C-alpha cells in the first residue's frame, strides 16, 4: 500500500537525543569554565532517564523534564557554583543548537520529501522543536510540526492522533507513523488505525501489538520511494501478545 503522508516522531527517531544532551551538557560546563568527565555525563543521563520514567508514569509534565533534570543534577554534582536558573538557561540555549540527527535521518527525509508530505509529531515545545529541526538540517523537508500547542493534547492520547489526521487532512489509513516508542508512538497510532513503522535500532523483541513495519536504521525508510521491499514482519517473528 502507498501512503499519502508520513509522520515522524522527533526525539530518538530523527534526532539522537542522548548525543544531543551530552553535547549540550559539555558546552554548558565549558560556558561556566568547569571541567567535565564521563562520570558527570553519565550522572546527568541517569537522572534524565529517571525523570522520563516519572513522566511516563504521569508524575511529571513533559515540559518539566529538562528543568527537573537540571535541578536534580545540580544537587548531586560537587563544585559547580551556578544557580539553577543560570545553569538551565545556558543548557537550553545549547540544547536548541547542539542537535545531532540520527544516522541517515537527514538523507532519508531529503529523499522521502520528494514523494511524500512529511510531518513531525512531538510532545515538546513547538518553537523549540522547530529550532532543533532547523539546527539539525531537517526542517526544510518538514511541512509541519504537530505539537501540543497546535493540537491541544499530547501523545499517547488517541485524541492526539485524531488531531494529527485532522491537521494533515487525511484519514488514518492513509498515514504512516514512524517512531521509536511503542507506548507513545506505535501502539496508539495502531489503535487509531494508522500504519506504523517502528524504528528499533536495538532490535528489541516485541511482545504486544505488531507494527506494520520494523526497521533498525533510518536508511531503510528510503525504500518507501520504490517499493515495500523491507520486511513486513510476520507475527511468527514476535512473541504473541
Reduced to 3 states, what is the DSSP secondary structure of residue 101? strand
Taking residues 132-158, what's their average pLDDT?
A: 97
Query: What domains sit in the chain, N to C, each tagged with a CATH number?
Result: 5-16+101-237 (3.40.50.1000), 17-97 (1.10.150)
Taking residues 45-74, what's their average pLDDT?
A: 95
Question: How confident is the model at residue 147, as a pLDDT?
Answer: 98
Confidence band of 223 (pLDDT split at 50, 70, 90): low
- Write out 163-202 in H/E/C secondary structure: HHHHHHCCCHHHEEEEECCHHHHHHHHHHHCCEEEEECCC
Task: Indicate whether 158 pLDDT > 90.
Answer: yes
Closest to 199 (Cα-Cα) out of 142, 184, 21, 237: 184
Task: Indicate whether 19 pLDDT > 50.
Answer: yes
Residue 214, beta-bridge partner list = 198
Task: Indicate whether 36 pLDDT > 60.
Answer: yes
Task: Indicate whether 231 pLDDT > 50.
Answer: no
Tell me the torsion sign for CA atoms 76, 65, 6, 135. Answer: negative
Rounded distance between C-alpha atoms, residue 189 and residue 21, angstroms: 27
- pLDDT tens per residue, range 79-116: 999 999 999 999 999 999 999 999 999 999 998 998 89
Confidence band of 219 (pLDDT split at 50, 70, 90): confident
Cβ contact 91:70 at 8 Å: yes
Confidence band of 225 (pLDDT split at 50, 70, 90): very low
Confidence band of 11 (pLDDT split at 50, 70, 90): very high
- pLDDT tens per residue, range 167-188: 999 999 999 999 999 999 999 9
Cβ contact 176:194 at 8 Å: yes
Q: Give CA separation, 170 vs 6, 72, 100, in Å.
A: 11, 43, 31
Task: Indicate whether 145 pLDDT > 50.
Answer: yes
Percent of the chain with pLDDT over 90: 80
Amino acid at each position: 500500500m502507498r501512503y499519502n503522508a508520513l509522520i515522524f516522531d522527533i526525539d530518538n527517531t530523527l534526532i539522537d537525543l542522548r548525543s544531543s544532551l551530552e553535547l549540550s551538557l559539555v558546552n554548558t560546563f565549558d560556558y561556566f569554565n568547569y571541567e567535565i568527565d564521563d562520570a558527570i555525563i553519565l550522572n546527568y543521563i541517569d537522572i534524565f532517564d529517571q525523570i522520563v520514567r516519572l513522566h511516563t508514569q504521569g508524575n511529571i509534565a513533559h515540559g518539566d523534564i529538562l528543568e527537573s533534570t537540571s535541578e536534580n543534577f545540580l544537587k548531586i554534582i560537587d563544585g559547580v557554583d551556578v544557580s539553577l536558573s543560570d545553569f538551565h538557561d545556558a543548557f537550553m540555549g545549547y540544547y536548541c543548537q547542539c542537535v545531532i540527527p540520527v544516522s541517515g535521518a537527514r538523507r532519508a527525509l531529503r529523499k522521502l520529501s520528494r514523494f511524500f508530505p512529511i510531518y513531525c509529531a512531538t510532545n515538546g515545545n513547538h518553537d523549540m522543536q522547530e529550532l532543533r529541526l532547523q539546527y539539525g538540517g531537517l526542517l526544510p523537508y518538514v511541512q509541519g510540526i504537530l505539537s501540543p500547542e497546535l493540537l491541544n493534547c499530547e501523545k499517547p492520547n488517541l485524541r492526539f492522533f485524531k488531531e494529527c489526521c485532522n491537521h494533515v487532512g487525511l484519514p488514518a489509513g492513509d498515514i504512516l507513523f514512524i517512531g521509536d516508542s511503542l507506548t507513545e508512538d506505535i501502539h496508539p497510532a495502531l489503535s487509531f488505525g494508522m500504519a506504523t513503522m517502528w524504528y528499533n535500532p536495538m532490535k528489541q523483541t516485541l511482545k504486544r501489538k505488531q507494527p506494520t513495519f520494523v526497521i533498525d536504521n533510518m536508511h531503510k525508510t528510503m525504500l518507501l520511494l520504490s517499493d515495500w521491499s523491507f520486511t513486513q514482519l510476520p507475527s511468527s517473528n514476535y512473541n504473541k501478545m
